[in-house]
Amino acid sequence: MSDRSTAVVIVAAGRGLRAANGEDAPKQYRRLAGRPVLERTIAAFLADPAIGRVVVAIHPDHRALYDAAVAPFADEARLLPSVLGGASRQASVRAGLEALAAAAAPARVLIHDAARPFVSRDVIERAVAALDEAEGALAAVRVVDTLKRADADGRIVETVPRDGVWAAQTPQGFRFAAIRAAHARAAAEGRDDFTDDAAVAEWAGLTVRVVEGDPANLKLTTNDDFLAAEARMTLDRFAALPDVRVGQGYDVHAFAPGDHVTLCGVKIPHAARLDGHSDADVALHALTDAILGALGDGDIGAHFPPSDSRWRGADSALFLRDALARLAARGGMLAHVDVTIVAEAPKIGPHREAMRRRLAEICEVAIDRVGVKATTNEKLGFVGRREGIAVLAAATIRLPPSD
């Protein structure tokens, strides 16, 4: 089934919990290995060419967070403008369904939680395929633990038979007209207490079947969920990448008349700018060289000659991304970066966390794998005379066994 008449509603309107790790964002916008959870979730669906359209229901307070999360999809026509969610999950789903119907009703719709970024194409396609036979289909996993019901005092009341018991996930897929009508009827009858869309469908008398979900298709809820997911995204892959290499980089740029410097991708007001043919982000240049050094693959000047006018004023993130693409092409992964900025001014401390966040974002690693340090040069030498800024960087990479 690849006629693109399958649309997706992603429910992202919850206020979510505020995590205790210092990142003050609702969970669907928290960064997971450098990228917002919602961006990963949207990307998972857009990666499937069978998906014709995606619409996201968001909370009105999250407009700026949403715009930032979907910036990478600026050229993706299949991502429709977001819709504002309602007070309940059901109201948010309804808003998404009505937005789809207003354009052109699809034949099928998948409804998915924003906080499940690990949904696989297999699970998506199983849910879609099941709609040939049933009006609804939900991804679910068999319950393997023994189930107990306990009273308020924690005393076991009974052992619940687990035969035929499944734990519901999303996506939950439906024939579009049927689920739209079911949601409209539930709203008309004042029912907004259903915890998932399959429950709405069951209540409306639709046939809903389970399809095999995926234990990895977790709903990220607690801080521990995020930490475990980030660990899994990296440590599991590291196991297959035993060739550990460390690279170093060093760069210097001189000050010139101006009003800000760019360091680690962060603009900092200053009485001077850094001179250079790109944006002169001396920190990203040193880090790019550290990665190229670990790869044994030349240096930034060899790949991006200063004589080439294309790089004039360029965002230096593009040099770093090029080095990361070379690492990815070798089947490798970045394990850690560490940047030391040597400058008398500006002060780095107030910008350190913004720099770490930006590096984690560009490098797509967890923020605890990013170090940014600063020191003065004790007024000695060219740095001490405030003639420029020097940066030292280190990067640890992991590669597959060499053959």
User: Which residues of this protein are in contact with Mg ion, per CB under 5 A?
Assistant: 251, 285
- Per-residue DSSP letter, 218: P
Nearest approach, Cβ of residue 260 and Mg ion (Å)? 17
Distance (Å, rounded) from C-alpha 253 to C-alpha 233?
A: 36
Specify the DSSP class assigned to residue 251.
E
Which residue's CB is nearer to Mg ion, number 139 or number 263?
A: 263
Q: What does the block give as tokens for 334?
A: 């970045």
Residue 359 C-beta: closest distance to Mg ion, Å: 16
Instruction: Kindly tell me which of 287 and 334 has the beta carbon lying closer to Mg ion.
Output: 287
User: What is the DSSP track for 93-138?
Assistant: HHHHHHHHHHH---SEEEEEETT-TT--HHHHHHHHHHTTT-SEEE
Nearer to Mg ion, 89 or 285 (CB): 285
Nearest approach, Cβ of residue 302 and Mg ion (Å): 13
Structure tokens at 304: 């991006």
CB of 306 to Mg ion, least distance (A): 8
Nearer to Mg ion, 97 or 282 (CB): 282
Cβ of residue 282: shortest distance to Mg ion, in angstroms? 6
Which letter does DSSP use for residue 34 in this model?
A: T
Closest CA relative to residue 353, chosen from 368, 343, 364:
368
- 169 vs 262, which CB is nearer to Mg ion? 262
Amino acid letter for position 244 = V
CB of 261 to Mg ion, least distance (A): 13
3-state secondary structure 157-188: EEEECCCCCEEEEEEEEEEHHHHHHHHHHHHH
| Residue 90 to residue 109: CA distance in whole angstroms | 15
Which amino acid, 115? A
| Least CB distance to Mg ion at residue 388 (A) | 11
Query: Residue 33 or residue 342: which is nearer to Mg ion going by CB?
Result: 342
Of 251, 240, 247, the closest CA to residue 283 belongs to: 251
In whole angstroms, the minimum distance from the beta carbon of 276 to Mg ion comes to: 6
Confirm if 109 and 174 have CB atoms less than 8 A apart.
yes
3-state secondary structure of 56: strand
With respect to Mg ion, which residue has the nearer C-beta, 335 or 359?
Answer: 359
The residue (of 31 and 285) whose beta carbon lies closer to Mg ion is: 285
Q: Tell whether the torsion through CA atoms of 25, 27, 32 and 35 is positive or negative.
A: negative
User: Quick one: how far is CA 160 from the chain centroid?
Assistant: 38
Looking at beta carbons, which residue is closest to Mg ion? 285
Here the tokens at position 325 are 């693409």
Q: Which of 173, 180, 245 is nearest to 6 (CA)?
A: 173
Of residues 62 and 285, the one with the C-beta less far from Mg ion: 285
From the CB of 262, what's the least distance to Mg ion, in Å?
12
Q: Which amino acid is at 388?
A: G
